Amino acid sequence: MTYRVCIVCMGNICRSPIAEAVLRAFVREAKLDGEIEVRSAGTGGWHVGDGADPRALAALSRHGYDASEHEARQFAPAWFEANDLVLAVDRSTFATLEQIAPPEDAGKLRLLREFDPAAGDDLDVPDPYYGRSRGFDDVVAMAERACRGLIEQMLRKRGA
């Protein structure tokens, strides 16, 4: 049975595609292909059909990841049923998703940085869209820590 994860931000062109690319790479590295399926989406439809932001693609490339095939999509309430875990990149996205989550699927919703051991109380991935390219590299680093923590947790549960 395939475990499905969807990472969600606002427009699905910066933070969630970065985290999706990182998590996919970690899934391959852990030899969990076919067991874990990763996708991403945005809460809004502004960028549906667009590729990832060029600055996100450049940051991913600098760190050895690829999201060149990414195409933005909008998260739909029915996707809760289709996914086992829905990861919001920040509290605002979490609140938006919480409002549309069916009661029986609300437990599937988590914050991405809950899995980042360095996050402390700061569980938001800042939106780099209006900032400098350095912000995209920071998002990659946060995604790496959170996705590594998620994979480690999944492997522990699998081994138990």
Rounded to an integer, what distance in angstroms lies between the CA atom of residue 89 and that of residue 111?
Answer: 6
Give me the catalytic one of 9, 73, 137, 145. 9
Give me the catalytic one of 127, 145, 147, 148. 127
Quote the tokens at residue 47. 């960028």
Is 15 catalytic? The answer is yes
Count Cα atoms within 13 angstroms, Cβ side, for 54: 0
Q: Please identify which residue in the block is written with the tokens 């059909």.
A: 49
From 157, 124, 100, 132, select the one nearest 15 (Cα to Cα): 124
CA-angle at 75, arms to 13 and 128, nearest 5° = 25
Give me the catalytic one of 14, 15, 113, 116. 15
From 143, 155, 93, 75, select the one nearest 113 (Cα to Cα): 143
Is 9 catalytic? The answer is yes
Q: Tell me if 26 sits within 8 A of 64, measured CB to CB.
A: no
Is 14 catalytic? The answer is no
Q: Tell me if 127 sits within 8 A of 10, measured CB to CB.
A: yes
Give the residue numbers marked as catalytic.
Answer: 9, 15, 127
